[in-house]
Every structure is written in C-alpha cells, then in structure tokens.
C-alpha cells in the first residue's frame, strides 16, 4: 500500500474507516512543517501495509536534541541511537495505550473505545498511534525519547512524535508514532511526546 502524510485529523478519519479492513495499516497523505531549528529531511511517497501488528507513518513534534538530515525520500539518514531496542511485532500496537491513558495525557475525557485512533472530549482532540515506517514528508527535528532517536514533526496545529524502536535496516516498521490533531486549543507537541513515551515504554524489549 502507498502512503503519504496528511494532517492527522484526515489521517485519523482514514484510519477509522479502514481499521476494520486492514488492522492499523492505512494511507496517509500530506505535508509536515519543520520546527525553526530543525534540519532538512526527505520527502516520501510510499509505505507498506502491516500484517503483523505494524503500521504506516505520519508526523509531529517533541523537544531538545540535535538535528538529523535526510535526502529526498522521507527516510532519516545518519546514525540512529538505540539505547533500548524494542520489538516491532508480536503484539497489538493499537492496544498499547488505553483510552484512560490517552485521556490522561490530553487532560480530557477519554474515548469510549480503544484503538489506533482515539477521540477525546473536553478538550476535543484526535489521537493517532501506531508502529510504523520511519518515513515522513517535510522536515523533522531530531530529539530523544527514552534514550532512542526520535523525530518531532509539526504540521500546522498538528504535532507528532516518532520514536525509533530499532536500528535494524531490514525492519519495515521500526518506529512508534503518536500524532495529535487538536480541535480545541491544546499543547499538541507536549501531548504527542507524552503519548510516544508512554507507548514506547509499553512495547516489549527485543
């Protein structure tokens, strides 16, 4: 399946419509915008569907760290730091974080159902979480989450944090992504970082 990043809300709606048909694998289209001090990244136009509890990409933002650069395919280049290697399959990535955990991170009433896409209320936000390809469009700021290389990508009000689970070049979906699209005014990047960290910590070590 081909994928590209879209604003998280559109991505979330796409995911919601396709979850019953293909697990958490879905098509994502769009463009991400880099933070002011971030480095260049590649643009990407393809990803593959997951058949082992893995999924595609999107993008967003965390805080501090160095900046990584990419070429023109949307895949981070340079050395990836992995302090804790995590499994990329063998578990249901859409069930990593419960609605209560997502609601607590947002500071809102939780979604009535669990899954890769959850919608909170008071404040209202759409949250997308998945194990995915380490690819994205636009430019990303390199940070660290739990000692592993991660990327913060901002697209308007949407924000995502993608943390690397492994540095194995043969892994198709080596990253965990948390993306937040706000309807009400919230700290999307701060929330995405909390969710990415919480999800990463619940993934079994490799």
For the record, the structure tokens of 166 come out as 């492994």
Residue of 119, 134, 123 lying closest to 55 (CA atoms): 134
Confidence class of residue 193 from pLDDT cuts 50, 70 and 90?
Answer: very high
Digit-coded pLDDT (tens) for 12-44: 444 443 333 333 433 333 333 333 444 444 433
Tell me whether residue 55 is exposed, middle or buried, using C-beta atoms within 10 angstroms of its C-beta: 0 to 12, 13 to 18, 19 or more.
buried
Backbone dihedral angles phi then psi of residue 145, each to the nearest 5 degrees:
-130, 120
In angstroms and rounded to an integer, the radius of gyration of the C-alpha atoms of the chain is 15
pTM assigned to the model = 0.67
> Can the peptide bond before residue 14 be classed as cis, meaning omega within 30 degrees of 0?
no
């Amino acid at each position: 399946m081909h994928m590209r990043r879209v604003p998280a809300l559109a991505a979330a709606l796409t995911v919601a419509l396709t979850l019953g048909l293909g697990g958490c694998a879905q098509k994502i289209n769009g463009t991400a915008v880099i933070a002011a001090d971030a480095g260049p990244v590649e643009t990407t136009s393809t990803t593959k569907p997951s058949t082992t509890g893995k999924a595609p990409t999107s993008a967003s933002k965390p805080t501090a760290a160095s900046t990584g650069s990419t070429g023109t395919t949307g895949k981070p280049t340079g050395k990836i730091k992995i302090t804790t290697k995590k499994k990329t399959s063998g578990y249901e990535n859409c069930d990593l974080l419960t609605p209560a955990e997502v609601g607590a991170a947002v500071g809102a009433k939780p979604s009535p159902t669990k899954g890769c896409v959850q919608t909170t209320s008071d404040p209202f936000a759409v949250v997308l979480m998945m194990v995915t390809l380490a690819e994205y469009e636009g430019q990303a700021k390199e940070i660290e989450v739990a000692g592993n290389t991660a990327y913060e990508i901002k697209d308007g009000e949407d924000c995502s944090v993608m943390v690397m689970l492994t540095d194995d070049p043969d892994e198709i979906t080596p990253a965990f992504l948390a993306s937040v699209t706000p309807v009400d005014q919230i700290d999307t990047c701060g929330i995405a970082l909390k969710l990415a960290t919480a999800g990463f910590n619940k993934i079994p070590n490799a």
